[in-house]
Amino acid sequence: MANVLIWGASGGIGRALTETFVAAGHTVVTVARRTEGLDSLTPHVLAGDVADPEAVSRVTRQAAEVVGPIDVFVYAVGDILSAKVAEMDLEGWRRILDANLTGVFLTAQALLPHLAPKAHLFLLGAQHERLRLPGLGAYAAAKAGLEALAEVLRKETRRRVTVVRPQAVTTPLWEKVPFRIPAHALSPRQVAEAVLQAWAEGREGILDL
């Protein structure tokens, strides 16, 4: 059985990931800014914000102290903003980059000393080439940057790193953008089960769903 650390466990995908890995018999540590209700899924619940470097370091150390070396790391934090470049303020830009890209850097960097020898890192991305639409500049840029960061991280650490790229997922993020949820959208549970299967099979690189 594996020790699993999930960032962003309060979101739709993060919660589904927690439920799926716990149901499969793994030990799961969840991290979220809002932790209400997560203790019903796992006893290992920590509060932390990916935009706060000190909190990221503290929570990562706590997770390793509780369960030992981390076998599976999943970054499922995400946020979206609909604003054209000419109208977007710097605060909004930074919020989206923090959630979708800078947070990946901070959590992965903090985690590296606490990884198990055969650890696998999963980063929740998106099919960003389909998202280069008016109003989605910050989100598309962050998800494209995540893939570049993941490739470099894989080469630097020689660890298994997988970017999960669902086309669309039925989560509350859709309430923040003026688009309809596509008919083919996946459920959070489908994404979670795909991650579990990818880990079991040792798949790395890009995982398109």
Please report the DSSP string for 130-145 in residue order. G---TT-HHHHHHHHH
Residuewise pLDDT in 10s, the chain (209 residues): 999 999 998 889 999 999 999 999 999 999 999 898 888 899 999 999 999 999 999 999 999 999 999 999 999 999 999 999 999 999 999 999 999 999 999 999 999 999 999 999 999 998 887 778 889 999 999 999 999 999 999 999 999 999 999 988 888 777 787 778 777 888 999 999 999 999 999 999 999 99
Contact 196, 153 (CB under 8 A): no
Distance CA 43, CA 175 (A): 31
13: Cβ contacts below 8 Å, ≥ 6 apart: 76, 78, 124, 169, 171, 188, 191, 192
Distance CA 80, CA 89 (A): 14
Q: Which two tokens stand for residue 57?
A: 């370091």
91-118 pLDDT, tens digit per residue, is: 999 999 999 999 999 999 999 999 999 9
Distance CA 100, CA 103 (A): 6
Distance CA 78, CA 34 (A): 14
Q: What is the identity of the amino acid at 124?
A: L
163-193 pLDDT, tens digit per residue, is: 999 988 888 777 787 778 777 888 999 999 9
**Which strands sit side by side in the sheet containing 205-208, from one edge to the other?**
44-47, 27-32, 3-7, 70-75, 115-124, 160-165, 205-208
- Radius of gyration of the CA atoms of the chain, in A: 16
In the CATH hierarchy, which fold is given to the domain comprising 3-208?
Rossmann fold (3.40.50)
